[in-house]
Each structure stands twice: as structure tokens, then as C-alpha cells.
Amino acid sequence: MAGITIARSLTTLAATVVLTAGSAVGAVGASAAPGPAEPDAAGVRAALQRVVDAGAPGAFAVIRDHGGAERGRTLTVGKADLAGTPMNAGWRFRVGSNSKMFTSVLIMRLAEQGRIDLDKPLREYLPAGTLPESWSITARQVLEHRAGVYDHTNDLLEQSGEETTAAFEKRIRNNVYEPKDLVAMSVKHGLQYTPGTAYAYSNTDFVLMGLAAEHLTGRPYAQLLREQIFEPLKLRQTTFTVPEKTIAGPHITGYLTNDDRGKPLLDSTEQTASWVWSAGGVVSSARDLDRFMTALLAGGRGGLVSDESLRQMTSVLPTPTAKISYGLGVREIALSCGKVLGHGGIVQGYQTQTFSTRDGKRTVVLFANASNNGAVTSGLTNTLEPAFCGKAPAAASPRRSITGTGNGNGTGNGNGNTNADTNGGRWIPTVEDTRI
């Protein structure tokens, strides 16, 4: 089965990922609908400019259409660093919680091999003592963020929902945490609700899944990523080097917005990322994220997971945030022109949104090099609309925005000031995982 072993040559796979992604619609139940609307380039650029105006040094959008005639569009605004280097969409950056999709792929491959049952207690697939014997949470509930697992990152940050420069320098930048210790931080808080009854985003969920992958295979998480995803897909700009602090090769500088907005942005590029490990420690590029998403949504043809695994990953359930649903390590966002699949990620200094149409025909990678700023987060998320849906209808009437226009001062939790929406009510809410 393709989701278990990638048997074809790397050259053939790389070509197949591009050529067949659009034809794998049966894997996720999409119909043979017309391709996506022409992106609104002016609208995308304007949205990126709002992100920069809100406090990010720079931002970019990479839009790629697959199936039939391949086409790519890249729009950049601002700078890759405060020294004045123009933003470069070909460089590497920290992808934050986009890493969760990679971890989910590893788990689904193990499930295809019969090495893990997603509906049995997860503790059976972890080192002894990792979870209490009384915890019957399943791998599926954990992948869906519906297990009631406390997010250990709350204990490492200054306050819930905020990054803060003080916490970063004190507990994040240079500290090296063992994954089992991150889980122990969470376990001491107990389960937060009856598993399966609610949704609450938790980074600890995907630390647990990384530990399970290691335990079941006897191989380090970084090696699993390299052998099963990075090398077969030729993701030459993608690495997992936690706890090494530096990013090798040409890369974008990340900046953490200072808690005191009167102080300069803090260069947060160098950090161990061990505090989030398999929940957010991957470094990649727009090119590689596009290739990964295209292969994933191609199901069995893409060589990562089987059609059935993809169906399960993309069978989403609603969350408390309007227009946002979540599957197994995959988020779904409802735009005005339809639903897109992927994930977002924020890790100190970096924000990324990676989404694709359900049939894989269009992938959009959005990026900004600043965090701890809710207006930047809202602005970047709302760039998805013009990128996927094109121009707003001319007759659209103004409506109020849930998260604001991206011009106000956000708090980093998606609950910033509400401003008039002059784009026909097409703004979408900022998701709740604004830290990672």
C-alpha cells in the first residue's frame, strides 16, 4: 500500500506528486469541479501590505496551481530582516504548527501497518508511565485535540495565549526540554474534560504523537521525518534539527514583537524549539510546503498516506471558532468560495499558513516574519480569501468583522478590536492557536 511503503523511485514520485495531485479527488470525496478562481493579485498584495503595516518587517504569498498547466505566482512585501534585505519567498523559515501535519502523516502510516489502533488507549503505544493508567484517551482523540490534554506551553509562557519576550528569553530561546518532561508538565494538571466531548487545541497532543512514533519504531522522530517524508518527496529545504538553535542556509529572520510596543522587535531566529518538539519544530520553505501538501492530498498516488488515511485525516469536526473545523492534524477553513485544508503555525518570530483546495489543485503558502501581534495574525489569515477566491463581488455590502480588518492592535489571541469590514464580510476568524 502506498501509505505504508514508498516503493517507486524518488524521481518518479516527485513527478507524480505534481502531475496527479489534481486527479486524486476521489480520495477525499470531491467532485470534478472547475479549477479555483483566478487569484486577486491586487487583493493579495493589499492584504500582505496590511500585515506589514501591522508590524511585520515582511510578508509573502506563494500560490501554485497543479493539474493540467502548472502555474505559480509569488508576491512579496517588505523585508526579510531589519537590515533591509528584500523579502525572499524562496528562503527557509520556522513553520510552527504546520509540523503537526507531518507528525500526523507518520502516525497514519503506522496505523496502515497495524502498529497503532487509533481507537485504543494511547498509553498502550507509549513508554510505560508516560500517561496515567486511568487515562483512556485514544490516539484519534489526541490527533483531533479532543482528548482533554492540558497544553504544557501554558506553563512555559508568561500568560495563557501570549508569547511575550520575557518568557521567550527566560524559558524558550536557550532551554532544552525532553519530550517526556513536556508531557509530565501537562499530566500534572489532569484531564481538562471528558475525552471526546469537546475541542481544545493542545500542543502536548502532538508531543504525545511524536513519542508514540518513536516508541513504536525504535527510531528518533527526526529520522522518521527524514526517511519517510523529507527524502522521498525531495524536500531539500526541510529539516528537523531540534535542539540546534540555528537555521542553516539562506533563511528569513524572525522577530518577536516586544511586550512593550515602544521597544524594537526582538530577533528570535535562534532558538532550540525543544519546547514544542514534534508539535512545531520543523524548518521548511514555501516550495517544500507546497510539495508536501500536494503529495498529502493526492492520497495513495502521493506516496505519503493511503486514500483511506487521507479520508480520516480530512474528516473534520467543528470547533468553537466560526468557519474552522479540525480533523486528524489537519485544519479546514471555510472561505467564501469553498473549504480549504491545511494548517497554520506560529512560533516566535514566524507565522505561516499552508492551505490547499480539497482536490489539491491550488496550494497557498502565506508567511510573515513577526509574531506576538494579533493584527499580523489576522491580516495573514485573511490573505487566504483573495488568494483562493479571487476578487470580492462588487455588490457586496459592508459587514462587521469578527477579528477586525488587521489594522488595529491585536492582543495575540484573536480577540482584537472589531472594525468595519469593507470587503463584503469575507474576513475569517483568527484561529485559537496563536502561539504555535
> Which residues are identified as catalytic?
97
Q: What end-to-end distance do the CA atoms of the chain give, in Å?
A: 33
How far is 18 from 124, CA to CA, in rounded Å? 38
DSSP label at 278?
Answer: G
Which of 91, 106, 139 lies closest to 3 in space, CA to CA? 106
Cα 25 versus chain centre, distance: 22
Distances (CA, A) of 341 to 260, 291, 325, 369, 416: 35, 14, 9, 23, 25
Which of 96, 150, 2, 73 lies closest to 364 in space, CA to CA? 73
Strand 58-65 and strand 362-368: pairing?
antiparallel
Q: Which three cell numbers mark 40?
A: 486577486
How far is 226 from 232, CA to CA, in rounded Å? 8
93: β partners: 284
Cα torsion angle, 247, 250, 252, 255, sign: positive
DSSP label at 268?
Answer: -
Q: Which three cell numbers mark 41?
A: 493579485
Which of 182, 180, 183, 186 lies closest to 172 in space, CA to CA? 182
> Are 349 and 267 spatial neighbours (Cβ–Cβ below 8 Å)?
yes
Q: Which three cell numbers mark 211?
A: 513519542
* Three-state secondary structure call for residue 290: helix
H or E stretch at 204: helix 203-217
155: β partners: none
Distances (CA, A) of 338 to 75, 321, 370, 389: 23, 17, 29, 8
* Three-state secondary structure call for residue 4: coil
Strand 317-318 and strand 324-326: pairing?
antiparallel
